[in-house]
Structure 1
């Protein structure tokens, strides 16, 4: 009887246990997180494929719905069985997933272009999810030719019961995908609130609002510093790559011997930084590191130059794990971003990490500049007991903002029910635009201005428009020195750009988009529009208006007008037909510039900079001289552009201006960087880098090259000193260059790139040397290499620049003062037609 009763009790307990099993993840959270089994889809196939320990389910299993598509298969050798098939979309289509748990999800999309009937290499398409563009203008051929990673990875918050990934083929093309991964991530893998780095340094670390959960993150780099490739199921199926190809100063670093012991994670799986848990990064990442190479005579820091998108917010995550110090609290590291000191790194908390090794990490939101690289450096702290600096891992994720331009997805685009609102809306928009145009035409007829050439550019006053510049700053006072005669009504610019339509975009930068437009008087213009509603860029906006409204020179960009209504920040320039100097040096699809063309362009740009330095009262220092800020018109006449960072020259007979370091990595004057003392010679150094770029036609920073060739300025001077400069000249012009012209040009470059600013020439002297090199190239000067090439040598056919006392009297150097709005009609106006315009 007792035995029977015991069996009944055991049976009852088993039933309770079976009942509670479905709730075990809720009752016992300590059981931890495992990568879910859904969704892993082998697209375009009915068969399952196993990769590692994950099964990618064939589409015959109804794990997700997809629409309007066909399949392609491949029998040739591919790097993964996932890349044997693909699903092809000839029109807008989607995958739809059921979501049963709200949270942060990882989305991976695989694109491998194998040989097929559809020619996957020719695919061009966009991909969106509700409210966000994940991929825009994807070009399979470019990715294949550049050996790009076939996997694109995104992190996003999903709170809806269904989730769609929408494929949108570009005109006359199609979309495809080989595999899709979508799964829930562990809690707090990425925090919502992250410090926002600004160039003011440590005090600029403020919380990034409204938080990362309202954005989408795209993985750009994931590096196992000092180690090899790491992947595996315990790593959320992430892949970590070696960091060796991203050094800016590889001689300063060495790999630390790998740690063979056990890496202890001192916090739970759902902890929220700065202490790492096992999902933050795998132990193999924390077992390796790079540290300062103490045997190097120049070792002061380790610097990585990391390729990133231009002028975009990125999440930067740095991983640290000290596995060699004798005890905690010995290692202190100074962290720098873009050469700006951020903070000391010393994270040991006795309550959490009572013994080494102790893995931890730091997150920052960093806005990239227009160099295409993010510069991260570490250096030992002078007060540390152990003079060393190290880094174990590094991740960079691009922050994708919500976009109102993402169209709604139509399940049945051909149905009249869905087409009717679109058609009616289009008709209404066209009708309103016609009414607006007729109204503007009526206004211009009824209110003629004194200057008939500028009828479209009426200055609005009163009404509901709000001005950033003339109605006061955040402190309540209006900004001074604004030329109100150059104001252009917002409506005129809306009509000129088809209401800032995406099809009119010709460039994008940190300031915002650049649109091509046509004013009502027929003038083609470039309209540089700041991000609507944003406060960023207001000082640069103000600076550019003040400078460009008061100067005029045929080799400086000229301002047509500006608009600051309704909190807009818009600058208007004339359309520049040939784009930027960098375009013509780096774009293989454009005709190559001859050596004579290049010299003439350099002379034009130098003339503009010389005028800034000496032709304006007090002088102006550009502070951001680079090849993307030298623009070319239809006749290849050069103009210097982008004065948002410019500063007036020193006052009270001081030789320099003390200011926060700003500029572009690769062009930045090392003396200015070290001392924060800005001089005209800082522009000379930057222009010297441009001259070298013109000669070699390569990027000023290229981490893919051997370590001594990464920095063009350093590499060029080294080659010059070794007598090897001829070896790095652009092959397309090697046979054109007269050797005496090259000798004079290279001497000019060398003088411009001197470490000490006092050893560099003035822009006037530099200009004279360039004109002399051009005269040699034209054959005016005797070819005898023994003839002196002194910059003071007078050549009768070379125009010597006027002295300062007569500078303002020369028509070419005229200064515009007051409200001379008629100057805007000058045919030498310029435009920023550049992909990374400020």
Structure 2
């Protein structure tokens, strides 16, 4: 699946268009099949369902087994099991197409013949692999639930033991769900996606056992998922039956118990009228798609129909909840669906928050369902090609899909395979005609440089894939990025990176040495950056330094001088991208992990896979949201209009990282400190930014330098792009902050100067002429031609201007 750290959220409003659905839902009755007691010769009761023997449904070489010493309170379905020594399956007759609920029950007991906890196996439903190398701890009951679109007359649940192992199953449930149970847009164009239920939460209430649910689902309480328990309170359980209405939710979407409980935002401290966002954090798999359903029911007596509040999914994707858009009666259930891509944190946050104290007395939530989207093999490849098409032209999409299909028909060969041990110099990728073929590097050379991608040479891993250190045959040290299928970024990013880096050469932009596209490999070869990323040096979570007082345990080794120099270098590289070419290039993924340092700590901006080229007049570009959580420009996210000012916002977050030595987002902190941009702006506006700086910098930053730096951060993080500076202004401001710091350091070394002049070194900044915002004079050591303004005039370097500034003389 293509990895977009911020995939656009498709919220579905349950509007009158879907009213016709609900007569079918109200007519739905819970089916009587299939409920299978695996490995048993008789039927067993589980809840209010009767599980029948699997004699007629199991196929292949199988044996049955039973627990010789079952626990007294253990259900009968967990006392027997079907054992598979070889690939086997259950085949079920289907008499109605639609969405089916499939539940697989596992309980690894031990018998004289088998120790089920040793089983290792794969499971596929409807030919979709849903469990890989699966195992269950001893004496632990586990069930896995899936929603599957079934369109054939037969349905298979397949079991494939790992080598020298076996598979087992205790019970299977499979029954048709109500019509339109999952919206069509979530099923993909072919309807082949499978949804695995990860979390099903009764917000504000306790556990709901299957016997109390309309579809025999189990719901758990939400307290252990709350980010800050003090920010929320349970709503007293609503005793009446919810008021189900056409256009809203039905009793099959969630049971009454879910809609009869809720959590609302609480008040804390002295400001009793102030309410805060309520946030829940859920563990999810990294970098995959998820289908999220949020349940709402107004059971809060003081809430009026005019109430509005926001829902946030994964920290940025938002939806306005307007109760007046729904049934005016109290306790009227409805829900929202969205599809969102998880990021690399392994955590998905869901929040509700009021818009303002006067408008909304409370924000609330009744239930949450999170399902991981498992795509049928092959669908992800098609999607991957679809997103290559930047223009969105339907014709191009179709052509890309056709080309991909042809490419995937080629047999994949492992690196180094072939007659005589050589490699086939043929690319299965359809490269753009304007790709720089002079940069192509043979796969065999890449293999030799990295010692066949030896894990010992791996130095990092990112959205594109793993990164290896290597040495080419000419002795040049390189960093090799190798794409992994399904890992994240794909063909579009591969092409973009090559196209951008083949056009540019700048001291503060990482250099592309070459690329390889043989045998379905996507490999990028860069100059090797000896000191790694800026992030590594700020908070790589090394062992805690004694006496540092740092709760995170991170250690920063960069002085304030070094941090300013690094930020200045990165800013120069960004300014060159924005103005130094025929048309601007917008990076779109500026973060500390994408600022690399060479052996002399010279900063270079890297990772151009998400970058976009724009028009010469810097007007906005309409585009899908891409970027990294915590760095994303809020205006870009809201409007989908990308400008170079989006990079400026992200760079403002990087400046705060350099100052505070902490991540842009840290979910382990208290609510108000989670987002670095919000936290930093809070203290900057109070004029107390010094309170949150890296403890290793305390007492080592000139106050004037810190003040200028804080002003620069504040300008970069303005809510609207028009209020943010251009990167040339950022460069000047950072250089000035460095000059103030150097002047103070020189004064400390020469204290007699102060006594002679009688001046304090803490003077207001001198006034000097600014170049036009689209011009950046270049230091003499820059490895590119000087830039000129629109009239062709060149300008002296900033160092020349600063040489005329003498703080002591107050010029």
Q: TM class by shorter-chain length?
A: 0.5 to 0.7
Distance apart, 1:224 and its partner CA: 2.3
1:456-471 equivalent positions in 2, closer than 5 A: 466-467=430-431, 469-470=432-433
Provide closer, same or farther for how the CA distance between residues 223 and 636 of structure 1 changes in structure 2, counting only shifts above 3 A: farther
Distance in 2 (CA, whole Å) between partners of 1:92 and 1:558 is 54
Whether the 8 Å contact between 1:543 and 1:645 is mirrored in structure 2 is yes
Q: Are 1:558 and 2:511 counterparts?
A: yes
- Structure 1 counterpart of 2:8: none
Q: Are 1:97 and 2:87 counterparts?
A: no
**SS of alignment partner, residue 690 of structure 1:** helix
- Structure 2 counterpart of 1:762: 730
Distance apart, 1:218 and its partner CA: 1.8
Distance in 2 (CA, whole Å) between partners of 1:149 and 1:631 is 48
- Structure 2 counterpart of 1:433: 418
Whether the 8 Å contact between 1:251 and 1:296 is mirrored in structure 2 is no
Distance in 2 (CA, whole Å) between partners of 1:93 and 1:791 is 81
1:618 paired residue among 553, 557, 579 = 579
Distance in 1 (CA, whole Å) between partners of 2:341 and 2:48 is 38
1:526 paired residue among 466, 469, 480 = 480
Whether the 8 Å contact between 2:123 and 2:157 is mirrored in structure 1 is no
Distance apart, 1:139 and its partner CA: 8.7
- Structure 1 counterpart of 2:130: 134
Distance in 1 (CA, whole Å) between partners of 2:418 and 2:124 is 29
1:286-297 equivalent positions in 2, closer than 5 A: 286-291=259-264
Provide closer, same or farther for how the CA distance between residues 628 and 93 of structure 1 changes in structure 2, counting only shifts above 3 A: farther
Distance in 2 (CA, whole Å) between partners of 1:627 and 1:37 is 53
Whether the 8 Å contact between 1:466 and 1:567 is mirrored in structure 2 is no
Deviates more, 1:75-84 or 1:556-565: 75-84
1:34-85 per-residue CA deviation (whole Å, 9 max, x = no partner) reads: 56462355x9x999998755688999x8874686899998999999879999
Distance in 1 (CA, whole Å) between partners of 2:741 and 2:60 is 65
- Structure 1 counterpart of 2:149: 157
1:735-772 per-residue CA deviation (whole Å, 9 max, x = no partner) reads: xx475348989989866654865899935665887999
Distance apart, 1:396 and its partner CA: 1.9
Provide closer, same or farther for how the CA distance between residues 428 and 178 of structure 1 changes in structure 2, counting only shifts above 3 A: closer
**SS of alignment partner, residue 319 of structure 1:** strand
Distance apart, 1:175 and its partner CA: 7.6
2:298 paired residue among 315, 318, 322 = 322
Distance in 1 (CA, whole Å) between partners of 2:491 and 2:123 is 30
Provide closer, same or farther for how the CA distance between residues 359 and 367 of structure 1 changes in structure 2, counting only shifts above 3 A: same
1:350-389 equivalent positions in 2, closer than 5 A: 356-369=330-343, 389=363
Whether the 8 Å contact between 1:335 and 1:345 is mirrored in structure 2 is no
Q: Are 1:188 and 2:155 counterparts?
A: no
1:805 paired residue among 741, 756, 777 = 777
Distance in 1 (CA, whole Å) between partners of 2:274 and 2:740 is 38
Distance in 2 (CA, whole Å) between partners of 1:763 and 1:311 is 34
**SS of alignment partner, residue 805 of structure 1:** coil
1:581-604 per-residue CA deviation (whole Å, 9 max, x = no partner) reads: 668956789999853269899568
1:789-823 per-residue CA deviation (whole Å, 9 max, x = no partner) reads: 98999xxxxxxxxx95342x41566899xxxxxxx
Provide closer, same or farther for how the CA distance between residues 702 and 519 of structure 1 changes in structure 2, counting only shifts above 3 A: closer
Distance apart, 1:393 and its partner CA: 1.8
1:733-812 equivalent positions in 2, closer than 5 A: 737=696, 740-741=699-700, 754=714, 757=718, 762=730, 766=734, 805-807=777-779, 809-810=780-781
1:259 paired residue among 218, 232, 238 = 238
- Structure 1 counterpart of 2:249: 276
- Structure 2 counterpart of 1:643: 608
Distance apart, 1:313 and its partner CA: 2.5
Distance in 1 (CA, whole Å) between partners of 2:355 and 2:646 is 30
Provide closer, same or farther for how the CA distance between residues 134 and 679 of structure 1 changes in structure 2, counting only shifts above 3 A: closer
Whether the 8 Å contact between 2:659 and 2:693 is mirrored in structure 1 is no
Distance apart, 1:668 and its partner CA: 3.7
Provide closer, same or farther for how the CA distance between residues 632 and 240 of structure 1 changes in structure 2, counting only shifts above 3 A: farther
Distance apart, 1:378 and its partner CA: 5.4
- Structure 1 counterpart of 2:627: 663
Distance apart, 1:244 and its partner CA: 5.0
1:469-527 per-residue CA deviation (whole Å, 9 max, x = no partner) reads: 44xxxxxxxxxxx66355638988999999x99999999877x6568799996887635
1:370-449 equivalent positions in 2, closer than 5 A: 389-403=363-377, 433-434=418-419, 437=422, 440=425
**Unaligned regions of 5+ residues in structure 1, if any?**
1-27, 196-207, 268-273, 407-424, 441-457, 471-481, 794-802, 817-838
**Unaligned regions of 5+ residues in structure 2, if any?**
1-24, 381-409, 546-552, 755-759, 766-774, 788-811
Distance apart, 1:152 and its partner CA: 4.0
- Structure 2 counterpart of 1:232: 210
1:188-242 per-residue CA deviation (whole Å, 9 max, x = no partner) reads: 36335126xxxxxxxxxxxx6315x301112233232333333322433433334
1:488 paired residue among 424, 429, 440 = 440
Provide closer, same or farther for how the CA distance between residues 215 and 378 of structure 1 changes in structure 2, counting only shifts above 3 A: same
**SS of alignment partner, residue 227 of structure 1:** coil
Distance in 2 (CA, whole Å) between partners of 1:356 and 1:285 is 15
Distance in 1 (CA, whole Å) between partners of 2:81 and 2:658 is 49
Distance in 2 (CA, whole Å) between partners of 1:326 and 1:792 is 53
1:222 paired residue among 190, 195, 200 = 200
Distance in 2 (CA, whole Å) between partners of 1:78 and 1:703 is 43
- Structure 1 counterpart of 2:807: none
1:363-419 per-residue CA deviation (whole Å, 9 max, x = no partner) reads: 23334455655565656789x99876543222221211122699xxxxxxxxxxxxx
- TM-score normalized by the length of structure 2: 0.60
Q: Are 1:691 and 2:658 counterparts?
A: yes
Distance apart, 1:314 and its partner CA: 1.9
CA-based RMSD: 6.8
Whether the 8 Å contact between 1:286 and 1:321 is mirrored in structure 2 is yes
Whether the 8 Å contact between 2:106 and 2:142 is mirrored in structure 1 is yes
Q: Are 1:549 and 2:534 counterparts?
A: no
Distance in 2 (CA, whole Å) between partners of 1:238 and 1:314 is 19
**SS of alignment partner, residue 595 of structure 1:** coil
**SS of alignment partner, residue 258 of structure 1:** coil
